[in-house]
Structure 1
Amino acid sequence: MSKLTKFSSKDIISDLPRSIHDLILTKLPIRDAVRTSVLSSKWRYQWKTMTELVYDDKSLCLRDDKNVAEKEFVDFIMRFLMLHDGPILKFKLSASYLKESTEIYQWLLVISMKDIKELVLNVPGHKWKWDYPGLSIPRIIFTFQKLNRLMLSAFTVKPPVEFQGYPCLKYLELHGVTITLKVIENLISGCPLLEMFKFCNMDKLALTIRAPNLKHLIVEGNFEDLYLKDTPLVVAMSICFYPLAWRGDILRKVPVTYDYLKSIEIGNMDYEDLDKVVYVLHLLLQSPNLQELQISGRDEAPDPPHYRTADFDIWERQCPADFTFKHLRTAKLSHIITKHDMEFVKFVLGRSPLLEVISISLDAEYGEALEPVNEVLRFRRASPGVEMRFVQGSSRCY
């Protein structure tokens, strides 16, 4: 019994390697990480050397008065940073309470001397909305030359004239930011190592992307066009159309073949919108090694339609007679409703000789779905062994 008692009283957690302690601290809300100081002498100051700092609304003390809660939150972050000792590799701030950028500037000033590698700033504030300018991003952020990941949400982004870009940045995400076309294009081209770019924006931009090392592209919004001028290494592309815009035909003007592009995902596709159909068609034609295709149809048709309507046979008529999806293995087509939608299903089945699985989601009740299912089963299949899966419901725009 004495041996059992001795074993039970041993502080196993405190004797774990320092790297495990650091991992444990990163999994806790930051206030709880600080509270581990009371566990034992070995834990007392370990929070001071945490390399990943995450401040969000969970870090707030519960207060009925939001102004008091905000002040305590701001004071807590500043005290923590001033007592911190060592590098800070990741700093994430996601708090709806903050309405001023003064405090953020002070925090960024501290971490500017900490070899920051990853920065996430999401401070929408209680008045934020798509057409409401966000807080101005502190200019000191443009001096963080060692960043390899940057995510900004709900800020107004305006770099100083002397800003040349981020030489080490590989991941860039901008969500709901207020930014000009020139700034975003210069920002992208100023990141020579950029591998992933995610952009969600409501402004009608004709965006040109020059990123020779880009591999993953995710865009969502009301763009007028997306001009992929220098992106030869793109492996995966995800585009979510919004109901308006996308009026351009820039892809037809670009003699580019995306040899590395393996996966294409399109959200909120309208098979009756001529401009969107032509955009997607030429993207498919320029992707000879495509292996995965996922397209989700529109949520609802505009009333009245604001676009030029595509003909039913446009996919076959505009496509070269000898074109096939030579490497397409899987296809997922969601939210199939109209005859225009069904024509695209027919096009994919008839042009994919190596297709292994196609999943088709029909927006219809069980009894009503029987007829379109039978219609699809009658379509010619270039791949005789293709597995056809029919699903009720649909995948919406992400």
Structure 2
Amino acid sequence: MAQSIKKANHVDHIDRISDLPGNVIDGILKHLNIPDIVSTSILSRKWRYMWMSVPELEFCYECFSRFEDLDDPGPEISRIITEVLFLHNGLIYKFTLDIPFTIKTEYLNKWILFLSRKGIKDLELRNYARIDNKMPSHIFSCQELTHFRLSGFKLSVPPNFCGFKQLLDLCLDLNTYEFGALENFISCCPLLEKLSMILFGDMKSVCLKNAKNLIDLRLMVELKRASGLIKSLPKIHRLAIDSPFCNTLYADMIPPTQLISLKYLKLSGVNLDEKIEVLYIVSVLKSASDLVELDIKNYDDDHDDDDDDGEQEPDQPEQLECNSCCLSQLQTVNISVGTSFKHAMSLIRFVLANSSSLKTLTFKVGFCYEKLDAAVLLSISRNLLRMERASQRARVEFLQP
């Protein structure tokens, strides 16, 4: 009996977590925030210094919540980040920093310079303080970057900047830009494939013609007017635009002739109450013969459609007609509207009649508004069933809240 107890106690004291494979331990640490990573040093003797070689460091907003009661949390936060970085004894491939309080630019520059010597490839800097928003100049020393996200800073490009030669993915959110800095920055990233931007303030237009390898563009447009927003584009494959507060029509933002290589298109905030917007989407569809997936969302209804009976669609102009199937690759379509649906029905009719490979078309009505009358919903269902289909296997799903 005593031997059994002794054996059981021996089993209980086996340090199983320290015997895990290195890649498993790295996977565990990768999903912890900085305070939790440092706390692993008390697990055992083997874990005491393990946190000092973690290749991914994330100082997220929650890490600083305990400093909110301090009059000026900046110096204490700066001290902690400095200690963690300078105690680190390995390579750092990814570094994420949310800045909820004002931190002096000199500290940011010191940290970024340190990271540039640690092989940093993935860098995220999100400035929520918005007081001292000068972009750290040593960012341009991080020549191995493949992924870069910058938010809440004023972007400027030094005259001797030769570009990020390995950058593939760039995200610019709610920044301000010196004149010509945005185009200059992007054009100096020859391998850039994916670009995400939140544009606000007094941004006039963006020229992306020098981003030769750009294939994925995502825009959040928070401008009052965005006419002529994108002057020139390379042959992108994926485009997603969201403009919930913009008064400019999509037809004025990007000419359809720039979208001939699209495979995926998502337009959120498009005003389907305007016939010109429907015709714009149709012109894009006619140009983008390789399109595979289409996603359209109409947020607002500017007028009351309570009297709609669902039976009448607007007149079908010649632009909504096509002699042959022009959408031979289109397979998935999602269209969501509020309570105004007549122009959307015209668009659906065009898509069904000209998409020979279509698999699924989903139509959502009233997705963020009150429900329509049951008789109107039934009428819409009937109209959808009667529409001509180029694809015999096309499935039409009609949804409402």
Which TM-score tier does this pair reach, normalised by the shorter chain? 0.7 to 0.9
Q: Does residue 355 of structure 1 match 2:354?
A: no
Residues 154-165 of structure 1 mapped to structure 2, 5 A cutoff = 154-165=152-163
Partner residue of 1:238?
A: 240
Cα 1:82–1:8 shift into 2, 3 Å = same
* 1:61 Cα deviation from its structure 2 partner: 5.9
Residues 138-287 of structure 1 mapped to structure 2, 5 A cutoff = 138-180=136-178, 182-202=180-200, 203-210=202-209, 211-221=211-221, 222=223, 223-227=226-230, 229=232, 231-232=234-235, 234-242=236-244, 243-246=246-249, 248=252, 251=255, 257-258=260-261, 261-273=262-274, 276-277=277-278, 279-287=280-288
Letter matched to residue 66 of structure 1: L
Q: Does residue 52 of structure 1 match 2:56?
A: yes
> What is the DSSP-based 3-state SS (H/G/I as helix, E as strand, rest coil) of the residue aligned with 1:167?
coil
Partner residue of 1:331?
A: 333
> What is the DSSP-based 3-state SS (H/G/I as helix, E as strand, rest coil) of the residue aligned with 2:144?
coil
Identical positions, percent: 29
Partner residue of 1:344?
A: 347
Q: Does residue 89 of structure 1 match 2:93?
A: yes
Partner residue of 1:34?
A: 38
CA distance in 1, matches of 2:373, 2:17: 56
> What is the DSSP-based 3-state SS (H/G/I as helix, E as strand, rest coil) of the residue aligned with 1:248?
helix
RMSD of the TM alignment (CA)? 2.7
> What is the DSSP-based 3-state SS (H/G/I as helix, E as strand, rest coil) of the residue aligned with 1:62?
helix
Letter matched to residue 101 of structure 1: T
Cα 1:365–1:4 shift into 2, 3 Å = farther
Once superposed, which parts of structure 1, at least 4 consecutive aligned residues long, lie more than 6 Å away?
Answer: none
CA distance in 2, matches of 1:372, 1:239: 28
CA distance in 1, matches of 2:188, 2:68: 45
Quick one: which of 381, 389, 395 aligns to 1:387? 395
Residues 292-303 of structure 1 mapped to structure 2, 5 A cutoff = 292-301=293-302
What are structure 2's unaligned runs of at least 5 residues? 305-312
Cα 1:136–1:40 shift into 2, 3 Å = same
* 1:178 Cα deviation from its structure 2 partner: 0.6
> What is the DSSP-based 3-state SS (H/G/I as helix, E as strand, rest coil) of the residue aligned with 2:176?
coil
Check conservation: 1:124, 1:134, Cα contact below 8 A: no
CA distance in 2, matches of 1:164, 1:245: 36
* 1:114 Cα deviation from its structure 2 partner: 1.1
Q: TM-score, normalised by structure 1?
A: 0.86
What are structure 1's unaligned runs of at least 5 residues? 304-310, 394-398
Check conservation: 2:102, 2:132, Cα contact below 8 A: no
What CA deviation, in whole Å up to 9, does each residue of 1:97-129 have, x standing for no partner?
23543322221122121111010000111xx5x
CA distance in 2, matches of 1:335, 1:8: 60
- The count of aligned residue pairs is 376
CA distance in 2, matches of 1:60, 1:190: 35
Cα 1:228–1:72 shift into 2, 3 Å = same
Partner residue of 2:309?
A: none
* 1:215 Cα deviation from its structure 2 partner: 2.3
Letter matched to residue 193 of structure 2: E
Cα 1:241–1:282 shift into 2, 3 Å = farther
Letter matched to residue 372 of structure 2: E
Q: Does residue 375 of structure 1 match 2:383?
A: yes
> What is the DSSP-based 3-state SS (H/G/I as helix, E as strand, rest coil) of the residue aligned with 1:293?
strand
CA distance in 2, matches of 1:216, 1:48: 36
What CA deviation, in whole Å up to 9, does each residue of 1:20-70 have, x standing for no partner?
322222222201211211221111111111111100222226246233544
* 1:91 Cα deviation from its structure 2 partner: 0.8
CA distance in 1, matches of 2:119, 2:327: 46
Cα 1:105–1:156 shift into 2, 3 Å = same
> What is the DSSP-based 3-state SS (H/G/I as helix, E as strand, rest coil) of the residue aligned with 2:161?
coil
Letter matched to residue 174 of structure 1: L
* 1:296 Cα deviation from its structure 2 partner: 0.7
Q: Does residue 365 of structure 1 match 2:372?
A: yes
Check conservation: 1:316, 1:347, Cα contact below 8 A: no
Quick one: which of 121, 127, 132 aligns to 1:123? 127
Q: TM-score, normalised by structure 2?
A: 0.85
Letter matched to residue 264 of structure 1: L
Check conservation: 1:89, 1:115, Cα contact below 8 A: yes
* 1:213 Cα deviation from its structure 2 partner: 1.7
CA distance in 2, matches of 1:29, 1:335: 40
Cα 1:280–1:204 shift into 2, 3 Å = farther
CA distance in 2, matches of 1:79, 1:10: 33
Q: Does residue 102 of structure 1 match 2:106?
A: yes
CA distance in 2, matches of 1:87, 1:249: 43
CA distance in 2, matches of 1:295, 1:102: 45
> What is the DSSP-based 3-state SS (H/G/I as helix, E as strand, rest coil) of the residue aligned with 2:149?
strand
